[in-house]
């Protein structure tokens, strides 16, 4: 038997005839779902074991990422300082707002 005959035979088994077979359909669905679940569990177990043992998944980085420049860090610090100033204005009452619930 060659491969095309095997595939043809397999498709004939799953082809609907004159009568529907819900038992076959549910069995097919359960088997397929079980295979997918087992595959997912095996993949996740392998990935966890690889990471837990210090390995990596995928290709390793060939070079180290560039270090942030000091000006970038200063910009970020300035943004957070401005946010802190705005928060302080709300807390000290510099900014007033009308409470619609009163």
DSSP assignment of 9-33, as one string? HHHHHHS--SS--HHHHHHHHHHHH
The tokens for 94 are: 């510099």
pTM of the model: 0.44
Tens digit of pLDDT at every position of the chain (102 positions): 688 888 888 777 777 665 777 888 889 899 999 999 999 999 999 999 999 998 888 887 777 767 778 888 899 999 999 999 999 988 888 887 777 786
> Taking Cα atoms as reference points, which of 77, 95, 78 lies closest to residue 86?
95
Do residues 28 and 14 make contact, with C-beta atoms less than 8 angstroms apart?
yes
């Amino acid at each position: 038997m060659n491969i095309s005959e095997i595939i043809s035979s397999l498709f004939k088994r799953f082809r609907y005839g004159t009568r529907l077979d819900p038992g076959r359909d549910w069995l097919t669905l359960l088997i397929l779902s079980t295979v997918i679940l087992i595959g997912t569990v095996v993949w996740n177990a392998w990935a966890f074991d690889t990471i837990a043992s210090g390995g990596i998944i995928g290709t390793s980085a060939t070079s180290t990422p560039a270090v942030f420049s000091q000006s970038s860090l200063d910009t970020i610090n300035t943004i957070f300082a401005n946010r802190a100033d705005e928060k302080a204005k709300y807390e000290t009452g510099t900014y007033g707002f009308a409470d619609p619930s009163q």
